[in-house]
Amino acid sequence: MTALADLAKEVSGCGQCALAQGRTKAVPGEGPENAVIMFIGEGPGFHEDRQGKPFVGAAGQFLNELLQSIGLQRTDVYITNVVKCRPPGNRDPQPAEIEACRAFLDRQVALIGPQVIVTLGRYSMARAFPGEKISAIHGKPRKVGDIVYVPMFHPAAALHQPSLRKTVEEDFARLPKILADLGQVEEAAVAPDEPQQLSLF
């Protein structure tokens, strides 16, 4: 069993926060173990909780379309969430729940070693850019340590607010160039506690 599969097993048996009590299935994440891009959402919803897979409901359908729009398939990318168990009624994850799950996400990032992390929504954005506003920084790549982060609005937000849909589509459309330029941004690295915007464009 690989280290990532071991981790998924640990997640499935985890009881470190109250979300464990309400879950049908934990949702560790899925995708290739050496994915170049990782997407981090918020937390499982109803369908994800039933199936044990991330982004399989309406937001997931939209995410699939966004990936296809730039020539990617789900199987090309690793997809996971900040919290691995469904918050009741799809409420926002609470700080203690995010904290309880933090080590799982840190280990996933370390094991997969993605070059790009796309954060979907406020909670995964806050991991890399605490205190910043998604409306100000969405779609703008920044290198933190060895990883280029691209903060984006959550696909579910775009489903609820039609005006955001175009924004999300445009932010996705920038990903191919971000990927193509990865090799040219090596010296732009900044200390993890000092994120800066890259001059990729």
Return residues touching ligand URA (CB under 6 A).
Answer: 41-45, 48, 54-55, 57, 59-60, 81, 156
Taking the least distance from each CB to ligand URA, the nearer of 124 and 195 is 124
Q: Cβ of residue 32: shortest distance to ligand URA, in angstroms?
A: 18
Taking the least distance from each CB to ligand URA, the nearer of 39 and 129 is 39
Taking the least distance from each CB to ligand URA, the nearer of 42 and 171 is 42
Q: Cβ of residue 156: shortest distance to ligand URA, in angstroms?
A: 6
Q: Cβ of residue 90: shortest distance to ligand URA, in angstroms?
A: 8
Query: Cβ-closest residue to ligand URA?
Result: 41
40 vs 92: CA distance, rounded Å: 15
Q: Count CB atoms within 10 A of the CB of residue 149.
A: 23
151 vs 126: CA distance, rounded Å: 9
Taking the least distance from each CB to ligand URA, the nearer of 59 and 77 is 59
Q: Cβ of residue 33: shortest distance to ligand URA, in angstroms?
A: 19
